[in-house]
Structure 1
Amino acid sequence: MGSGDLESRGSSKNRGPPPPPPASNYYTSSSPYYTESLEKQWTSWLVPMIVVANVAMFVVIMIVNDCPKNHNSSLEGNCVARFLGRLSFQPLKENPLFGPSSSTLEKLGALEWKKVVNDNQAWRLVSCIWLHAGVIHLLANMLSLVFIGIRLEQQFGFARVGVIYMLSGIGGSILSTLFIKNNISVGASGALFGLLGAMLSELLTNWTIYANKAAALTTLVIIILINLAVGILPHVDNFAHIGGFLTGFLLGFILLVRPQFAWQERRHLPVEARGKSKYTVYQYVFWILSMILLIAGFAVGLIMLLKGENGNDHCSWCHYLSCVPTSRWHCNNR
């Protein structure tokens, strides 16, 4: 969050411990999401590295795809932007996102139920996070990652944000594979929704340090609901979004806990003079419950997946969470 460390005040040894500065020196509200504190601010390098890795991976995908060589133009039209050579895109009728063919994505690690369950290729739960269906898909995800991830990394460090990103991506992959049988899935959306979920739980578990609580909560919930609502459109894997969001939400209670305001206010005093516990009871309760739910959720999901079970058999209406059929489109994810 904020930058700088607490500095000792007062020059006389006989004055005793200096009085705590006003609360306004500790917390201000520069945005609806977070308050600013005098805690250490981390330098963000992990999120930019993830962006670079995703862009580099997309270039590799397009080189392998090699549309001019592998595509039959007489059947489906010409490659788009042929001046790019091997990097040119599939015809827009085949891929409107300016990207490779589905067969290329499948070859390089796209998430597919049959490959994971029947061919024991569980590594696809991770590899699919680093693949994107096209330039538009890549730009949308990477811009979101920059706006969400850099701020979180500056506040909580690369280790915690990295764990949330990867585990949320895997959680999204597991839920997606359990419910979507007929399509492949790629993208970092599950991991990104995990960061959104972590932001929400961080707000709830650190409620006492926020200046504009209602504004922060309302804004964040609206952003999450809008993004989840977009997921009910066809060709969007909302199960990856939901799985990633739930994983990140639980991880936020575990990894993003902050000391309560009263402890922060007195932390420069001697230990015996603080008189306040570092964390509140509800923070401990959230931490324990989230740890139990997270472990149980991953265990149940992986067991169901390895057994080849179809999540739709246990939830007859859940398929509507990813696609709602209308007169203009149909859904075929089951």
Structure 2
Amino acid sequence: MSSVVDAPDVASQVGHYYQAEGTYEVGREKIREYARAVQDYHPAHWDEDAATKLGYAGLLAPLTFVSIPAMAANRLLFETVVVGYDMFVQTEQVFEQYKPIVAGDVLITDVELSSVRRIAGKDLITVTNTFTDQAGEVVHVMHTTVVGIAGEGVDPEITRAVENIMVHGVNIFGGGRTPEEIAQARAKPTPRRPEGELRLSMEGAARIPATVMSFEELTVGAELPIRNARVSRGDLVNYSGVSGDGNPIHWDDRVARLAGLPDVIAHGMLTMGLGAGFVSAWSGDPGAVTRYGVRLSNYTVVDAKSGGEIEYSGRVKSLDPAARSAVVNIVAKSGGRKIFGLATTTIQFS
């Protein structure tokens, strides 16, 4: 399969920046729709009175909700800048929450190609999304790392198969622009983030978490109750529609096998959303998380008949008395394999 440009050329575009057109208004029903998709039934995502009791001005969005506006905003980057690859595999995700997002918030999404690293002949590409609110303050930052794969090891049939079944107007492998358009974009000076410090949310920093336990009740080594989550093919199709991630490896057997997978697999972001809900069910306050980082090491196979199962467990790794925060290690297993190579979350307590 021929590439539009040589993959290593993408490294020269590190720092490429733009602000997504328009804004994203966080809708109340979209929050509920997304919470259902990641099986997160914390009352603050569903009931306005429950959210108000925790100190929120509206229905609370799940931590990984920002992946929705990011998916749309990043499309241009993968059509004009991060090109020359035949496939992308998600490998790492970091969420930094400075202020919990609620219904009615209007988000501005920035996109930056923040890093390209070559390891073992493959490119690890990191895209950073910065979300600011109506006041111009940063409420959330998300770092997404994917592995760009080109040439050998990619079945040339996959492109044709995907084109025949994908939603019209969506190209999951980038390359939505002609070679001439890409060349013109590359000929222009690389746009950079405007100078000046970003303002972090003061309201978020001042908020007192409404956790079910106080910091003094925590102990290093304390274990979280195990959660067993089940996902079906229907869950995967639902998540694809809600999140905007239409990659057919999550719902089409043939494309999954052309991609070198044993069968259809669950979205990495879906497994992270389930993990975030697992933690907030224990802490009692989804907005108390300040950082959530996951390195994916394997995948969850979702059989057409029996579905897939993921077991989540956790343990308090460390405590910071000055910040009144705890770092929790999260373990996720499916089919006897760890699907999270390394996963931690930092939570502030009352």
Q: What is the TM-score when the length of structure 1 is the normalising length?
A: 0.26
Instruction: Report the structure number with the largest CA radius of gyration.
Output: 1
More strand by share: 2
Q: What is the TM-score when the length of structure 2 is the normalising length?
A: 0.26
